[in-house]
Amino acid sequence: MNHPSDNAGDVHLHLPRIASLVPSLTELAFELGLGPCLVARTGYCVHPRPGVDAVPKVGGTKTVNLAKLKRLKPTQVWVNVDENRLELVRSLAEWGVRTVVTHPQGPEDHAALVDTVVEALADHPALQSRTRQVGQALLGRIAAALECTRAQDRAPQRALVLIWREPWMTVARDTYIARLLARVNWQTWPAVEGGDRGAARYPVLRGDEDWLHRIERVLLPSEPYAFGAEHLDEVRRLCPRARVHLVDGEALTWWGPRVIEGLALLRRLADA
């Protein structure tokens, strides 16, 4: 007996079969009208509902079940430098499936991101044209959000974004999250850059760095670590001068259409 998903999408034979292995990319695909093309996603790709509920899951962003993915017969696989492992990309190359690699490193990179997606549809001219039009409309909304989120309009703040606990982990200044915060003139600490890829992009803290006492804002996103009210006292001891904010991790860390929500969140915090 064939696997039930072997024939998934037969009614859409003219469409590409896309596997999106990144939550932000899955949400972007639906935003661009490419939901009917999706044949695989990760378990973390939870938006938008109910659209994603009909798309088979193939593991996590870093634990992709390649055997299941192959059975779903994608014609292209969408991945991200920060969220997927290099070994996965190498496996996809050996398999021979087209791999679309994304790496937005700041909110200003969305035009390049949309271009990457549109270029991946070159074998489907009508779909490519329609996606380009929808993408331009999305970029217009993102441009408007960027225009009203300008560093020069707000007082500078020293900020710390904690993305993990035990050990404490944060973000380097050349990551998407840090550059998002820069739009409201919040400078992340430590004062390091992590390079294009790898663990250095997400530094581990000892917890006794002298600059922690000069931090003015701490953001505790709800993902990837599920920070909650029970962690506030511990974080206040870490950064005794800071205002500590529990924030929506999806708004802060997801890119694609979610950047509009993320910029609005930061404007509210900065202007409060």
- The pLDDT value given to residue 272: 86
Task: Write out the chain's pLDDT in tens, 272 residues.
Answer: 333 333 433 334 479 999 999 999 999 999 999 999 999 999 999 999 999 999 999 999 999 999 999 999 999 999 999 999 999 999 999 999 999 999 999 999 999 999 999 999 999 999 999 999 999 999 999 999 999 999 999 999 999 999 999 999 999 999 999 999 999 999 999 999 999 888 899 999 999 999 999 999 999 999 999 999 999 999 999 999 999 999 999 999 999 999 999 999 999 999 98
Instruction: From residue 159, give the alpha-carbon distance in Å to each of 22, 143, 213, 220, 270.
Output: 27, 24, 11, 11, 11
- The pLDDT value given to residue 252: 96
CATH 3.40.50.1980 fits 151-271, yes or no: yes
Residues near 268 by beta carbon (within 8 Å), at least 6 away in sequence? none
4-147: which CATH topology?
Rossmann fold (3.40.50)
Task: Give the residue range(s) of CATH 3.40.50.1980 domains in the chain.
Answer: 4-147, 151-271
- The pLDDT value given to residue 14: 79
Residue pair 255/176 in contact (Cβ under 8 Å)? The answer is yes
DSSP string across the chain: ---GGGGTTGGGTTS--EEE-SHHHHHHHHHTT-GGGEEEB-TT---STTGGGGSPB-B-SSSB-HHHHHHT--SEEEEETTTS-HHHHHHHHHHT-EEEEE---SGGGHHHHHHHHHHTTTT-HHHHHHHHHHHHHHHHHHHHHHHT--GGGS--EEEEE--BTTTTB---TTSHHHHHHHTTTEEESS-----SSSGGGSPBP-S--GGGGG--EEEEESSSS---GGGHHHHHHHSTT-EEEEE-HHHHH--GGGHHHHHHHHHHHHH-
